[in-house]
Amino acid sequence: MSQEILVERLFEALIEGDRPTARDVVAETMRDGANAETIIADLFWPTYEKITALFRSDQITCMAHHLGTRLLRVLTDQVSLSIERKPSRNRNVFALCGPNDADELGAQMAVDLLEGDGYRISFAGGGIANDEILSRVQETRPDVLLLFASAPSDLPEIRALVDTIREIGACDSVQFVVGGGVFNRADGLAEEIGADLWATTPSELVEVMSENPERRATADQRTVGRHKRRRVA
């Protein structure tokens, strides 16, 4: 069965809160040979994007959105237990996201795949003040700070956090990585806030992080980003 049909079937089951049918779609995908990573990347993620996009454009109700995202999180929890763990990359990722449940769901898919790819993950979710995040970064000195955001309202705090960490030298070696809907919808936004890496999907995130462990935005790129921010504000 085509991936588009499976996504549509899962979407319909989720927004109705139809747990048996949603589980049946996942089971059918597994019987067709898909592993946990493929299910998360190619079934759960596009379904999640469809739910959030339709909710943002007022094409589904709040009830449908809540039913869908909560049931999809249950399925993600269950499927992620079957992810095959690769050898450790010896890289620590401290991950954060926007304050909503839907933000956490999207970020969870990303960190589950990263953990399977050999990263050590600490995922704090959303709604945490920047001073607490800064304290954690100074204390644990992660290799990667992953910031996952779906809403424009998240951007001022993300920009302030990235600038503060760099300006005070809280963790000179940290790599800033961003992902999520807001960065997908605005071309060049990740570069503008001074991110070192960015991706549009969880599977792409795993790929770009594995291929570019040492990449950092140049000083010139960061300066251009700050000038852009002033013009946009």
The enclosing domain of 61 has a CATH number of 1.10.1240.10
- Residues in contact with 198: Cβ distance below 8 Å, sequence separation at least 6, in sequence order: 177, 178, 179, 183, 190, 191, 208
CA 206 vs CA 42, 82, 93, 179: distances in Å: 14, 17, 12, 11
Q: How confident is the model at residue 224 (pLDDT cuts 50, 70, 90)?
A: very low
130 and 216 share one domain: yes
HSE (CB half, 13 Å, CA atoms) of 9? 17
**What's the number of domains the chain is made of?**
2
Q: What is the DSSP string of 147-191?
A: EE--SGGGHHHHHHHHHHHHHHTS-TTPEEEEESHHHHHSTTHHH
Contact at 8 Å (CB) between 11 and 68? yes
Q: Residue 2 has what pLDDT?
A: 86
**Which of these ranges, 12-16, 41-45, 124-128, 216-220, has the smallest mean pLDDT?**
216-220
- 198-204 mean pLDDT: 91
Of 19, 48, 80, at which residue does a domain stop?
80
Do residue 71 and residue 97 come from a single domain?
no
Residue 45 within any structural domain of the chain = yes
pLDDT of 233 above 60: no
Q: Work out the end-to-end distance of the chain between its first and last CA atoms, rounded to an integer number of angstroms.
A: 47
pLDDT given at position 227: 43
Per mean pLDDT, which range of 155-159, 216-220, 224-228 is the poorest?
A: 224-228
Report the pLDDT averaged over residues 97-115: 91
Which of 29, 58, 80 is a domain's end point? Answer: 80
The CA-CA-CA angle for residues 220, 193, 96, to 5°, reads 135
Task: Kindly report whether the global pTM for this prediction surpasses the value 0.85.
Answer: yes
Are 113 and 64 contained in the same domain?
Answer: no
Scanning 57-118, the segments in alpha helix (DSSP H) are 62-80, 101-116
Residue 86 lies in a domain: no
Given its phi and psi angles, is residue 17 left (phi above 0), alpha (psi -120 to 50 degrees) or beta?
Answer: left
Query: Do 121 and 155 reside in the same domain of the chain?
Result: yes
Cα–Cα distance, 164 to 13 (Å, whole number): 44
Query: What pLDDT score was predicted for residue 216?
Result: 83
Same domain, 18 and 120: no
8-state DSSP, 145: E
Same domain, 29 and 130: no
Quick one: pLDDT at residue 230? 35
The verdict on 136 and 226 lying in the same domain is yes
- 128 and 155 fall within a common domain: yes
User: What residue numbers bound the domain in which 33 lies?
Assistant: 3-80
pLDDT the model gives residue 172: 77
- Residue 211, domain CATH: 3.40.50.280
Is 204 inside a domain boundary?
A: yes
Regarding whether 124 and 216 lie in a shared domain, the answer is yes
| Cα 15 to Cα 30, 74, 75, distances in angstroms | 22, 14, 14
Rama region for 118: left / alpha / beta (φ>0; ψ in -120 to 50; rest) = left
75 and 109 belong to one structural domain: no
Q: What is the pLDDT of residues 131-189, one digit of tens each?
A: 999 999 999 999 999 998 767 777 888 888 988 888 887 677 899 999 877 787 777 88
pLDDT tens per residue across span 38-93: 999 999 999 999 999 999 999 999 999 999 999 999 999 999 999 999 999 999 99
Q: Are residues 59 and 130 in the same domain?
A: no
The pLDDT, as a whole number, for residue 58 is: 97
At 37, list the tokens: 């990573």
Q: Please check whether residues 65 and 104 belong to one and the same domain.
A: no
**Residue 232: which pLDDT band, with cuts at 50, 70 and 90?**
very low
In a domain, 85, yes or no: no
Q: Is residue 87 part of a domain?
A: no
